[in-house]
Amino acid sequence: DTGVSQNPRHKITKRGQNVTFRCDPISEHNRLYWYRQTLGQGPEFLTYFQNEAQLEKSRLLSDRFSAERPKGSFSTLEIQRTEQGDSAMYLCASSSRRPFQNTGELFFGEGSRLTVL
């Protein structure tokens, strides 16, 4: 399977614990995105990498959230001291720029569902 893969698919944790999600993008894609989706809403942008560089972070991403993409391959999203409001589906997507265009379609993974008790 050459799609975007995420793990774990489900994580249940207690408030205050740390959690880490991993995303393996499509290998030839240089861009990687993290989005968060809550029930009945569209995905919300969290952060974005081009290769290993984190180029933009949303104001939604508090200091408890950190993302990395070492060597421009897989990415991790860590949430420290989780709160009940962090419960959501965390979606990873990868993309590459279309020729002669400054955009590209996003290929989403299945997501990692976080439940904070």
Q: Are 32 and 75 in contact (CB under 8 A)?
A: yes
Q: Which is nearer to another protein, 19 or 108 (CB)?
A: 108
Binding piece for another protein, criterion CB under 8 A, among 12-20, 47-55, 61-69, 76-84: 47-55
Q: Is 17 or 24 the residue whose CB approaches another protein more closely?
A: 24
Residues 7-46 that bind another protein (CB under 8 A): 31, 33, 40-45
Q: What part of residues 78-107 is at the interface with another protein (CB under 8 A)?
A: 91, 95, 98, 101-107
Q: By C-alpha distance, which of 36, 35, 22 is closest to 88?
A: 36
What is the amino acid identity at position 88? A
Nearer to another protein, 14 or 39 (CB): 39
d(CA 22, CA 67): 10
Cis peptide before 8 (omega within 30 of 0): yes
